[in-house]
């Protein structure tokens, strides 16, 4: 059974990270720390987080694609935490759920206003969950195991549960709006690209092909 997870917000430092050569300790990860063990190499593994209604609110998979780094990024690699797929190798593994819903859709890495070092996510984060009862479901090659998970509030925070629910609901409204806005932007970009390609009888440029592939890439 996973240990109780405490709903603590990550580093809120608004400065840039320390240089890698500066001696500094390592903070424990933010979120629910989950362990799983595999006796042999698996073909496929998924890890799902379910809420009290049984709905899947977060899913990780060994097939998750690695998101490439933006070559136009103006900050060094050690500021970021590239998302890694779920491991299918034999042995003991640790996975951390950040107690959040999935990141909203983004066509590229957003411009970070702040970074706190190697654990900074590459994408904007989804809303944090409300303290309560959840379940973790690990499926390996079709065989599933489910365990309960309890999320409790940071004892230093005195915000009421009702206000946390309001915060979550508002965050989900923003999340939904971002999904719709990004879909509309994608449609507009595709329409513009179609007009450019149809403007003359010639082969599409490599730039047009690259733009189309970027628009159609799964996010």
pLDDT in the model for residue 212: 66
Mean pLDDT for all residues in the chain: 81
Whether residue 107 is predicted with pLDDT greater than 60 in this model: the reply is no
pLDDT in the model for residue 20: 77
Q: Between 68 and 159, name the one with better pLDDT.
A: 159
Phi first, then psi, for residue 5 (nearest 5°) are -100, 140
End-to-end Cα separation, the chain, in angstroms: 32
* Contact in structure between 35 and 7 (CB atoms under 8 Å): no
Using a pLDDT cut of 70, give the percent of the chain over it: 69
For residues 130-146, give the mean pLDDT: 97
- Express each pLDDT in 38-94 by its tens digit: 999 999 999 999 999 999 999 999 998 776 665 556 667 667 666 778 999 999 999
pLDDT in the model for residue 136: 98
For residues 24-34, give the mean pLDDT: 85
pLDDT band at 119 (very low <50, low <70, confident <90, very high): low
* Contact in structure between 172 and 102 (CB atoms under 8 Å): no
pTM for the model: 0.77
Measure the CA–CA gap between 212 and 200, rounded to whole angstroms.
17
Whether residue 129 is predicted with pLDDT greater than 70 in this model: the reply is yes
Whether residue 17 is predicted with pLDDT greater than 90 in this model: the reply is no
* Contact in structure between 120 and 23 (CB atoms under 8 Å): no
- Express each pLDDT in 182-205 by its tens digit: 777 777 766 666 666 666 665 666
């Amino acid at each position: 059974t996973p240990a109780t997870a405490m709903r603590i917000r990550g580093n809120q430092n608004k400065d840039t990270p320390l240089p890698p050569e500066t001696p500094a300790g390592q903070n424990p990860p933010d979120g629910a720390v989950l362990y799983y063990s595999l006796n042999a190499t698996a073909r496929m593994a998924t890890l799902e987080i379910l809420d009290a209604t049984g709905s899947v609110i977060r899913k990780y998979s060994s097939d998750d694609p690695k998101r490439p780094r933006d070559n136009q990024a103006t900050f060094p690699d050690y500021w970021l935490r590239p998302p890694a797929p779920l491991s299918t190798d034999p042995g003991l593994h640790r996975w951390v759920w950040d107690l959040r819903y999935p990141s909203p859709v983004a066509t590229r890495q957003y411009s970070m206003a702040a970074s706190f070092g190697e654990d900074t996510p590459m994408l904007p984060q989804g809303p944090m969950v409300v303290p309560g009862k959840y379940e973790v479901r690990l499926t390996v090659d079709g065989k599933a195991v489910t365990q309960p998970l309890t999320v409790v509030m940071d004892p230093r925070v005195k915000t009421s549960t009702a206000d946390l629910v309001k915060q979550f609901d508002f965050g989900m409204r923003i999340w939904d709006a971002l999904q719709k806005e990004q879909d509309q932007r994608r449609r507009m970009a595709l329409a513009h690209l179609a007009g450019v390609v149809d403007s003359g009888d010639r082969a599409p440029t490599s730039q047009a092909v690259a733009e189309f592939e970027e628009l159609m890439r799964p996010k």
